[in-house]
Structure 1
Amino acid sequence: MSPEPRRVTIHQADNLGVARALPDGAFTLIYLAPPFNTGRSRSHRPQAPAPSGAAEPVHAGFRGREYARVRGALREYDDRFDDYWSFLEPRLTEAWRLLAADGTLYVHLDYREAHYAKVLLDAVFGRDRFLNELIWAYDYGAKTRRRWPTKHDTILVYVKDPERYWFDSDAVDREPYMAPGLVTPDKAARGKLPTDVWWHTIVPTTGRERTGYPTQKPEGILRRIVQASSRPGDHVLDLFAGSGTTGAVASALGRHATLVDDNPEAIRVMRERIPHAHLGTLVMPRRADAAGIV
């Protein structure tokens, strides 16, 4: 028996303003799939060596000195680094504030930015908060013959508290064994738990879940995330909601969802896809300490 669909709130606004209006620790699961920044250029400039004997202290922690050191090093390496990270950093900072003590943050990127984000998120949040690097692999679309075709995205997973985070592997859908003849018939019939590499098609060009929105994520990917890292009745947040896959999946699984996007077309698609969703009425505060989930 499927759970009763839960409340979905859609905000049409800049996601940073909405995030600042939401209360601390309100969400067990936060999923972020920011723009992939495909147009960046890269250039290398050698770093000047530190003065002799002037060793910098290195320690992880939220916005600690290690973060400043790492960001400075990346700025030296890539003179367009700040164009992307200055946009993303405050949104990640707010997402971390909004995450519950037992919560999990998923940051979905492609190969152009994942390595930058991993190093910086370790420095911002602490390497001990890093849980997984998930690889979503697919095989669809054009393939170049001039290099290995790029057919995967990276999802970085961080937990607010390494001792308290919620993770329910039993709730996750199972998948077929790649070599079913090597396991017992019972195991082959039951399937195996997914690893950190997820083979899953993109949204089919025809099918029930297709909305036509260009960056739509498949429900199967979000279903696995929601099943593993939240419980029925929990609150889920997506600050780059796009076609609303996170909300559609979360609500169907009995979770509440808050979705944010400033694109009118995204709002139209979400409202059509999730008819029971309602538009939020947050009053944007001047400080990042206010309001409730409405």
Structure 2
Amino acid sequence: MTQPLWSPEAPNTVIAGDNLPVLQALPGSSFQLICIDPPFNTGRQQRAQPMRTVRDAAGDRVGFKGLTYQTIRGVLTAYDDAFTDYWDFLAPRLEEAWRLLSPTGTLYLHLDYREVHYAKVMMDALFGRECFLNEIIWAYDYGARSNRKWPTKHDNILVYVKDPKSYYFNNGEVDREPYMAPGLVTPEKVARGKLPTDVWWHTIVAPNARERTGYPTQKPVGVVKRMVAASSRPDDWVLDFFAGSGTLGAAAAELNRKYLLIDSSAEAVNVMRRRLDSTTAPPQFLRHAE
């Protein structure tokens, strides 16, 4: 019998390879937390016939989890992006994410302002609108400025749960923030700080930051630690299948969670090897070949 590539009894693991066949081979309900920051913007010219779908019990389309929809087709149009190709790429991976989440699990989907509105509609169809928990705004004040519009200084993080009646969430474990108007609260509250809201003020990874790995889309470990602390417990398994520089692994190592990271990029795997080999429980590195 062929041994599985990964099981919940495995040590921390990094897998190099296409994430979809790896995800399809993983046992269901294995992960308490999934955090992903998928790529976007291929820049190819596409022609597509847009579709609007609405929930309808007598509809002509059967979607995820057996839900039915009515399909309303729009006019043929052209636009600059591989949007249709992108969602054909991402949707089956998000379906696997739903399957892999534990009954108390949570998915954090990290996007920017250009994609988040489309993603919200698709995630409502895949997970169910009742499973939408939050849209987190990660705000920062660093980088280029614009004199022709309000400078864009935030990313969006959509938060969905597997079961809206039984998901795990403990904001008492997260880091606290300074009060923006400390004069309005007691000195004791000022000293303690306040719990974060759905707007997170946190700097990006600066070029001279100690945590900098050189990976171009590296996210701050402080942002990811907040997700890990609130939505998982010690020794829970967490998953990132667009792992990049391995920030989820670094956050999990600090907070005593177990992690599985997947990426097809040799550069990303090399960065993760340098970054995670020095942690207290360094991962095993595996390669998946179809």
Pairwise TM-score range, normalised by the shorter structure = 0.7 to 0.9
Q: Which residue of 2 aligns with 1:64?
A: 67
In structure 2, the CA distance between the partners of 1:282 and 1:47, relative to structure 1 (3 Å rule), is closer
Shift of 1:63: 5.5
Partners of 1:277 and 1:194 in 2: CA distance: 31
Checking the alignment, whether the CA contact within 8 Å between 1:60 and 1:127 is kept in structure 2 is: no
In structure 2, the CA distance between the partners of 1:212 and 1:40, relative to structure 1 (3 Å rule), is same
Task: Name the one with the larger strand percent.
Answer: 2
In structure 2, the CA distance between the partners of 1:13 and 1:190, relative to structure 1 (3 Å rule), is same
Partners of 1:143 and 1:211 in 2: CA distance: 24
Q: Which amino acid aligns with 1:29?
A: L
In structure 2, the CA distance between the partners of 1:75 and 1:63, relative to structure 1 (3 Å rule), is farther
Partners of 2:74 and 2:254 in 1: CA distance: 41
Q: Which residue of 1 aligns with 2:134?
A: 132
1:274 matched to 2:276: yes
Q: Which residue of 2 aligns with 1:248?
A: 250
Does the residue aligned with 1:106 lie in a helix, a strand or coil?
A: strand
Deviation track 1:23-52 (CA, whole Å, cap 9, x = no partner) reads 00000000110003263779898989xxxx
Partners of 1:74 and 1:266 in 2: CA distance: 40
Shift of 1:7: 3.9
1:9 matched to 2:1: no
Checking the alignment, whether the CA contact within 8 Å between 2:50 and 2:74 is kept in structure 1 is: no
Checking the alignment, whether the CA contact within 8 Å between 1:13 and 1:262 is kept in structure 2 is: yes
Unaligned stretches of 5+ in structure 1? 1-5, 49-54, 285-294
Measured on the aligned residues, the alpha-carbon RMSD in Å equals: 2.8
Question: What is the identity percentage for the equivalent residue pairs of Structure 1 and Structure 2?
Answer: 58
Q: Which residue of 2 aligns with 1:27?
A: 31
Does the residue aligned with 2:35 lie in a helix, a strand or coil?
A: strand
* Structure with bigger RCO (C-alpha 8 Å, 6+ apart): 1
Checking the alignment, whether the CA contact within 8 Å between 1:7 and 1:251 is kept in structure 2 is: no
Does the residue aligned with 1:279 lie in a helix, a strand or coil?
A: strand
Unaligned stretches of 5+ in structure 2? 1-9, 53-57
Shift of 1:272: 0.6
Partners of 1:46 and 1:240 in 2: CA distance: 27
Q: Which residue of 2 aligns with 1:18?
A: 22
In structure 2, the CA distance between the partners of 1:140 and 1:128, relative to structure 1 (3 Å rule), is same
In structure 2, the CA distance between the partners of 1:188 and 1:264, relative to structure 1 (3 Å rule), is same
In structure 2, the CA distance between the partners of 1:87 and 1:46, relative to structure 1 (3 Å rule), is closer
Provide the aligned length of Structure 1 versus Structure 2: 270
Does the residue aligned with 1:102 lie in a helix, a strand or coil?
A: strand
Q: Which amino acid aligns with 2:193?
A: G
Partners of 1:182 and 1:60 in 2: CA distance: 50
In structure 2, the CA distance between the partners of 1:147 and 1:57, relative to structure 1 (3 Å rule), is same
Q: Report the TM-score, using the length of structure 2 for normalisation.
A: 0.85
Q: Which residue of 2 aligns with 1:82?
A: 84
Checking the alignment, whether the CA contact within 8 Å between 2:233 and 2:257 is kept in structure 1 is: yes
In structure 2, the CA distance between the partners of 1:75 and 1:167, relative to structure 1 (3 Å rule), is farther
Checking the alignment, whether the CA contact within 8 Å between 1:240 and 1:259 is kept in structure 2 is: yes
